Every structure is written in C-alpha cells, then in structure tokens.
Amino acid sequence: MRARLDATRVLLRIAFRNLVASRVRTVIIGLIVLVGALIVVVGSSMMESIDQGMRTSIQGSLGGQLQVYSSASEGQLELYGGIRGESLLEPIPDFARVKEVLGKVPNVKMIVPMGIDQALVATGNVFDVTLAKLREDVRQLQASPGDAEVRRGLEARKAHVQRLIALLAEELTQARVLVDPNGRDASLRKAQRADLDHAAVPAFWIEFDRDPLAGLEFLENKVTPLAMDSGFTFIRYVGTDVAAFMKAFELAEVAEGTAIPPGQRGILLGKQYAEEWLKLKNARRLDQIKDKRDRFHARIAKEEELQRWVKDTRSRAREILAQLDPLQAAEAERRLRPALEAPAGEELPALLARLFDLDDANFDRHYQVFYEQLAPMLRLYKISVGDVITIKAPGKTGAFNAVNVKVYGFIQYRGIEKSGIAGTTSVVDLQSFRDLYGYVTSDKAEELAKIRTQMGATQVSREEAEAALFGGEGPGRQVETTRAAAIDERQLLAGVGAKRKAAKAEETRAYTQEEIDHGVALNAAILLHDPGRIRESQAAVQAAADAAGLKLKVIDWEAASGMVGQFVLLLRGILIFAVIIFFGVALVIINNAMVMAALARVKEVGTMRAIGAQRRFVVGMLLVEIITVSVVFGLAGAALGGGVVAVIRATGGIPATSDLLFFLFSGPALLPRIGGTSVVASLVLVLGVAVASALYPAWIAMRVTPVEAMSTED
C-alpha cells in the first residue's frame, strides 16, 4: 500500500514538473479547454433560460402541461398557429366524458375544454358609427321636437357627416389618379361620384330636414359603401369554459374591463390584437415609437423605421378629423393651442400637423399632449369594452354561422403582454364557439324537428332526390299545390318579434356547468399537480383514454406549441452543432499537441522504462497532465462563463427584439441564470474531450520500448 502511495506521489510530481516545464503547450491546451468550458456554460445557461421562459409562456397561457385531441384528426394541434392547423382537427363529441375519465388519473389537477378557430368581425367604420348616432339623434328629436339641446346635437352631427363626405370626396379624387378613368368600371365610378356629390349639396340637407329617414337610407346605402376603410377584421379565438380558463392559466389577466360572468356568453379580446388591429393608427404608431425609444434607446434621427412611422402619423391626421364633429373640433383646438404653444387662430388641421411633427426633442411632450388632451375625445379602438359584436365563422359543414357577444374586456398574459403570439388570441365562451362551429344542441335539434313537422318535410335518399324534386315515381315524391292567401302582417311581425326575444334571451341567459361540459370541444388542456412528473402523467392519461375508448392523442406542451417549439429545437440544435464543431477542432489541436509532446519525450520515457517504470505509469503520467490542465482551466472557463452570464443580467439581459423572442424569453429580455447542471456539464464535456485527445499519445508512449527510446538521438 505504501509503495502505491509512493508511486502515485512520484507520478504526480513528474506530471506537474512536465506541465511547468512545457508552459507554452500547457497554456495552449488550457486556453482551448477554457474557451470550451466558457461556451458550454454560457450556451447551456441561455438554452435553460429559453426553455424555462417558453415553458412559462406556454403552460401559463394556452398550453397547460398536456393537451389532448381526437386521434382521428388529419392535422396536428398547434396552439399558436401553423401550416397543419386546427382546421383539420376532428371534434371531441362529448367533453364531459373526457373530463370524467381523465379527471380520475393521478396527478391530473384540471381539464379545460378548448376550440381554436378564426372568425370575421364587423367593426364598422367612421361613417357607420356616425350615421348610427345621427339616426339616434333623429329619433330623439322626433320624440322631443321642442328640445333645443337635442336640436343642437342633431345639427352638430349633420355637420360631422358633411365633413366626412368632404373628406371622402378628397380620398376618391386622389384614388382616381391611380386608376384608369375610362376603364371597365368607369360608369360605376361616375355613378358613385354622382351619389357623393348629391349628398354634398345644400339641397340634400334641406330635404333631409323634411324627411330624415329617407336621407339616412340614402347615406347608408349609397355613400357609406364608398368609404375605403374596411369595416371587417379577422380574429383568432379560443372557445373555452372561461371561468376554468382564468383559474387554470396563471398568466391570464383582464387588462381592461371585467371577466365574463360565469356561464354567460361573451368575449375577451386579446389586448395585443386590439393594439395592433383595432387601435387608431396614429395612437398605435405613437406607442410603437415610444416603446422603441424606451426599451431600445432608438432615436428618430438615426432609425429609418422610426422616421417611417413619424411620416405615417402625419399622413393619417385625416382619420382624427373624421372622428370629430364641429363642436368637438372646436374643443380640440381650444385644448391643443396652449399645449403646443401654437399661435392664436391656428385651426385643427394645422394643429394636428404641428402635433405629429415629431423629433427626438419634442416626442415625449407631444406624446403626453396627445393622450391627455386629444385621446379622451377620440374613439381609440374600433371595438370598445361594452360593445356587442357579431362574429361570423364557417362551421364544420362550411356554412357561415354568426353569434352576437358582448365585449367584456381585453385579456393579456402577465410577463408576455407585448407578445403577439399569445396576445392576439381572444377568449370566447364555449357555447358561442359551439354555435360558430355548427354544433347542434338539444334545444336546436328540437327546434329543427318542430320546423320539419310544421313544413311536412320528409327524409329523401340521394337516389330519390331527383324524382322528388322534378317529378316521377317514388316514395319521396313531393306534390305541391298552390293557392292564394292573404298575408297576415301582424302575425309575421309577431313571429319576428318572438324570434328576436328568444335570441336575446339565449344571448343573456346563464348556462349551467353541466351544459358547458356536455358538448363538443376540439382539444383540452390538462394541468398537473406536479409538472415535474409530466412524462409519467402523459403515459397514464393516454392509458386511461385508451381504456375508456375515447380515441384521444395525448401530447406535451412543447409538441402542442407547434412552430414555436420547433424554433426552440432549432436553436438548441444550432448550439449543439456549434459545440460539436468547436470540440472537434479542439480534439484535433489537443491531440496534435499531446502527440508532439509524447514524441519529444521519447528518450525520457525510455529512461523511465529502463529504470523500472511500467507502461501504466507512463500512461497515468500523461492522463494526469491532461486531466490537471482540464480541471484547472475548465474551472476557470466555467467561472468566466458565470461572469459573462452575470454581466448579461446586470446590463438588463438580451432584449427581445420580436414577438417570438418576447414569447420565448417570457418577458422583454432574456435573463440567463447559472445552474449547477451547466457547470457540471461543461467540466464533464471538456474533461471527456481532453482525455479522448490524450488516448492516442498514451498509446504511442506505451509502444515505446526502453531499447528504442535509449537509442533515439532526439
């Protein structure tokens, strides 16, 4: 035992002496090891932080830990959109059964039904909104002919419409420059211009006072369609049990308005979607410029993108003018003149030009003036909290379905508020989703059966359809006789009124939890008590679904994220590839250095062998040298990597310059953390590469005989 200790002591002395004697070689190998450890520590810290950020974003917004959907689906579930899309998912016919079966699986905490789709929403334009208000003013005046205040409001609204007509005429005149005046639609354009000119002359408004309803009909049918701004927008939404959704996903919060009452129909619009697509363009551009200046310290004088946005705000001042009637315009002038230090008498168009003449020196002040003085007078969003909107979407059969829902508020996800990946998705109650999807409830099925009975409708097979429609023999043949009958208008109106009341009652009634659970869903999120046991729970959920014959596919949150998860896999692959390339080169360099060192020490090795050193002693000496260098410089590289990570955190992290990065970082910047895994992985990796690089030189040393070594001149 003592002899072994003495041999080990001698081995270490010789190894350390060789390291000190060959300083250049030691430093070269050490620097390679140091850089390798640095790369592994920093890279693995980055990837761990991105994984954690993505896990937080997905599990806290739409994903949960697991997702289930029908195994019969042609497509693959992608919560945040993708080329395979949710449109190819087959429905889960009865969510209540899924909830009952999977809720009994150990570690399952909650199951939230979902259905993701897109829909068309009518937002209206300035003309639509203003004419609706004008119609209301007309009704009020008819109800109170002598009310002077109502009369003044009506006159202001008429003046507002006249201003809109003048602005529209300017837009159409500018648009004519871009089209062929004698083209195919020239006659149609002339007729449209004639309608617009007719609405602009004083005679039209004199006639309007005599018969306002006829004038409104002309404006709505002939003039409003000429407005160039679209009155429709698309939304991406998730239909769900809203109460369960808000409880399950900890990042979800109502940014403005209130949550949808339990069991009620309604919608929470995605806050980021509202900012991007529903907000007044000038206000949105100002927000974007401020965000760039505050987060990235960008400057208008240097950034081409900011200069383009400033130019855009100047060109869109007309949208603000279109919103204000003469009384509001006068009030806006009164507010803006002192705030902008403008000369007396300067009118609103000039004041708006001054307001949006932005540079780095005046931006913050003008931004404040806009939101404090002008914004309270404007409709900042095309859809506001409290509005009732109509959502239209193609159902499962291809036919368009529509529902009316109240906008209770805007929803955002804490920490990823500025990410459009989750923030553009709105939340709709599950009953409205089922109506849009085309799901036939028991009430609707009963109603359809009554209609068939009243109409005497019969089921006809495909083969007998032609005979039934166009004559011929067959059991399904329909024979109709016509007869004259008077139309009972009162009965028709009563029927229409009854249907409206029934529809209104359907929109406002509260649904029970049983009604919410029993029905179709496209997928469901599963949240676990212990997310660390996700693989075990995934297998258990799949087994339970298979045993109950539910025909479900169970995937984890990363697979459900679709292209977002694939992007992270790509980043991880790039990092691994870079590490492999670096250590491949390092392996060659270290190997060559060790081979040269071994060849240069052949005589020394031979002498050691001649005086009794065994081959394993020589191999051990070389391994001790390389392990010592690897450990010392590896620790130094890991410490340096930790310092780099600390500096990144201290300087505010790596900023998220896009929606995707904001989502992956789960915040405005990536703040990497050093983990024990990163340090251990770096040391193990560099040590493994170093030892591997020393194997060939050790093999060379083992093959040298004492006689060959002693006879060598060099």
**Mind giving me the DSSP string for 18-60?**
HHHHTHHHHHHHHHHHHHHHHHHHHHHHHHHHHHHHHHHHHHT
| Phi, psi (deg, nearest 5) at residue 267 | -140, 140
Could you tell me the CA-to-CA distances from 538 to 184, 511, 655, 679 in Å, in that order? 62, 32, 35, 31
Residues 6 or more apart from 160 whose CB is under 8 A from it?
A: 130, 134, 324, 325, 326
Q: Is 296 exposed, middle or buried (0-12, 13-18, 19+ CB in 10 A)?
A: exposed
**Spatial distance between the Cα atoms of 269 and 123, rounded to a whole number of angstroms:** 13
**pLDDT for res 393:** 85
Render pLDDT for 444-486 as a digit per residue (tens, 0 to 9).
556 656 666 665 656 655 556 555 555 555 554 555 555 555 5
Summarize the confidence of residues 627-645 as an average pLDDT.
Answer: 81
For 248, the token pair is: 């399950």
Q: Is the pLDDT of residue 132 over 60?
A: yes
Q: What gap in Å lies between CA 116 and CA 270, rounded to an integer?
A: 14
The pLDDT-based confidence of 83 (bands split at 50, 70, 90) is very low
Digit-coded pLDDT (tens) for 294-350: 988 899 999 999 999 999 999 888 889 888 888 888 999 999 999 999 998 899 999
The larger pLDDT score, comparing residue 232 to residue 393, is at: 393
The partner residues of 388 in beta bridges, in order of sequence, read: 406
Residue 559 has pLDDT above 80, yes or no: yes
Of the listed ranges 2-16, 360-374, 471-485, 599-613, the least confidently predicted one is 471-485
Exposure of 566 by Cβ count < 10 A (0-12 exposed, 13-18 middle, 19+ buried)?
middle
pLDDT value of position 464:
60
Average pLDDT, stretch 155-165?
85
Q: Which among 674, 597, 593, 611 has a CA at the least distance from the CA of 638?
A: 674
Name the pLDDT band for 405 (thresholds 50, 70, 90): very high
Separation CA 20–CA 26 (nearest Å):
8
Domain boundaries, the chain: 2-58+564-706, 65-113+520-552, 126-226, 300-380
- At 434, the amino acid letter reads R
Residue 84: band (very low, low, confident or very high) from pLDDT cuts 50, 70, 90 = very low
CB 524 within 8 A of CB 115: no
Mean pLDDT over each residue of the chain, to the nearest integer: 80
Which of 78-82, 98-102, 603-607 has the highest average model confidence (pLDDT)?
98-102
**DSSP three-state, residue 357:** coil
Helices 563-600 & 23-59, crossing angle to 10 degrees? Answer: 170
**Do the Cβ atoms of 696 and 590 come closer than 8 Å?**
no
Of 119, 118, 123, 115, the residue nearest 389 (C-alpha): 123
Q: How far apart are CA 669 and CA 651, in angstroms?
A: 11
Euclidean distance between the first and the last CA atom of the chain, given in angstroms as a whole number: 37
Identify which of 434, 529, 413, 442 has the alpha carbon closest to the alpha carbon of residue 240: 434
pLDDT band at 85 (very low <50, low <70, confident <90, very high): very low
**In terms of C-beta density within 10 A (0-12 exposed, 13-18 middle, 19 or more buried), how is residue 7 classed?**
middle
Q: Is 114 helix (H, G, I), strand (E, B) or coil?
A: strand
Q: Which of 28-37, 120-129, 479-488 has the lowest mean pLDDT?
A: 479-488
Query: Where residue 80 falls among pLDDT bands split at 50, 70, 90?
Result: confident
Highest mean pLDDT among 166-180, 224-238, 575-589: 224-238
pLDDT score for 450: 65
